Amino acid sequence: MGNYKIDEKRFNKIKDRVEPYRSIGHICKNVRCIETGQIFENARKAAEWVAYVRERGYCHTDLIKRACRKKGTCFGYHWEFVTN
């Protein structure tokens, strides 16, 4: 097996060349549970709350995001994105 380490100077040169092509960081949207009126800073925090309230070990964030987009439900709660 080879050694894939490169020196710091070469790494920084590559990093500087790639930087303009990186996409903008993901911007989290606030999420609101319509039934309770609680506002969460993102879908992950909302999923943690659902898992705690429903005494389930896990709630997937994509289910909450899908419910926000399609005005559906996730684990019996209606969700929407909150605009600031």
pLDDT in tens, 42-77: 988 998 998 888 776 777 888 898 999 888 888 888
- DSSP letter assigned to residue 21: G
Model pLDDT for residues 3-14, shown as the tens digit of each residue: 677 888 988 898
Confidence of residue 26 (pLDDT cuts 50, 70, 90): low
- Please name the residues in contact with 53: beta carbons below 8 A apart, sequence gap of 6 or more: none
Structure tokens at 21: 């092509």
